[in-house]
Copies of this chain bind each other. A is one copy, B any other.
Amino acid sequence: MRISDIGEFGLIDRIDKGCVNDPSAVAQGIGDDAAVLTVSPGRKLLVCSDMLVEDVHFIRGVAPWTHVGYKAVAVNLSDIAAMGGEPKNCVVSIALPPWATVDSVDGIYEGMKHLLAKHGVNLVGGDTVESSLFAIDVTMLGEADEEEIKYRNGARPGDVIMVTGDLGASAAGLHLLKSELDRKAWNADSIPGIEEPVGPKDHRTAVLRAHFLPVPRMKESWILARLGTGLVTAMIDVSDGLASEVGHICDESGTGAWIDSTRVPISESCRAVAGEARVDPLKWALFGGEDYELLFTVSRGCVGDVEEAFEAVGLSKVTAIGEVTEASLGRWIVMPDGERMELAPGGYAHFTEGSR
């Protein structure tokens, strides 16, 4: 069945189900000219948007539609997490070709609603339009207490740079995907389901999951936002790659930074796929992006507090990887051989031409 068979209102009826996970935040959801929402008294409103477009952010037939929907929500949740906020509501505008199947749209919303339900977020509105290609734009609304909001501009020389989880696995997954597509070995049915666990040593599943189904670090953000004012001084999520995100914090904070490459956390699966591909996994960790881990700076002497807080609630790992410096000292990564490499867009060339 095609979207053109059920029309715009048939489509909205299908979307409308299972959208409200926290009724206290929504006075009017889908169905009027605008949604009507309640913002908790005294809290700030956080708003972000990320758009995924066919052939740029995803390729039809490569990933299940559920995964496309999941990721459209995940990247927006990650932006709210990067501010130290709690996601509350979202609106979704979707552009669909008239020959799109109802199954494709059901899949997209199933993936979205899975992740929205997990975090108690309501889908309260949006737009459905015709187009010659698929595009999904999610606008996420969250809340935060003013004093808990983490901006990019608060880092100070001497602060320690930390990151949650592991980096590089999403780039490893993308590499594997491209390589299997090139060799016509790609089998869409073999990619991990949203709830499918990853077995030990199943490196393919692990890196594909990292690429298609990134986990927004909501709990980690929640812990970091509540560690006490001024402890976490700046925060950002890793969407463009560690090198780029460190640069953003330095730009906004007016600082320099150095990163110890030997401390950059890289998963066993990323290393295994990199080994097969004869790529230095550090390249993926620094420049790959789409890891959606949280990169943040903390006052020197508070690293232990962060580690203990994470450990106490059984969260994913957190690692100190470098230090904020005076702006005049520049931005550097100390490589495993002790050589210093400038943390800049051009740094990428170091790997493409040099190592391995």
Contact = CB atoms under 8 A, between A and B. Distances in A.
Interface of A: 27-28, 31-39, 41-42, 44-53, 55-57, 79-80, 82-83, 85, 89, 91-93, 95, 124-127, 129-133, 135, 137, 139-142, 144, 146, 149, 151-153, 235-237, 252
A47 B129 contact: no
Given A91-B49, A137-B51, A131 B36 contact: no
Instruction: Specify how many copies of this chain sit in the oligomer.
Output: 2
Contacts of A133: 131-133
Nearest to A53: B131
A235 B236 CA distance: 42
Contact of A27 (B33, B44, B50, B131): B44
B135 A49 contact: no
Contact of A82 (B31, B34, B49, B50): B34
Given A45-B45, A50-B127, A141-B47, A82 B33 contact: yes
Given A48-B91, A50-B93, 6 more contacts: A34-B83, A36-B83, A47-B124, A49-B126, A50-B127, A56-B130
A123 to B, nearest CB: 11
Nearest to A126: B49
A254 to B, nearest CB: 14
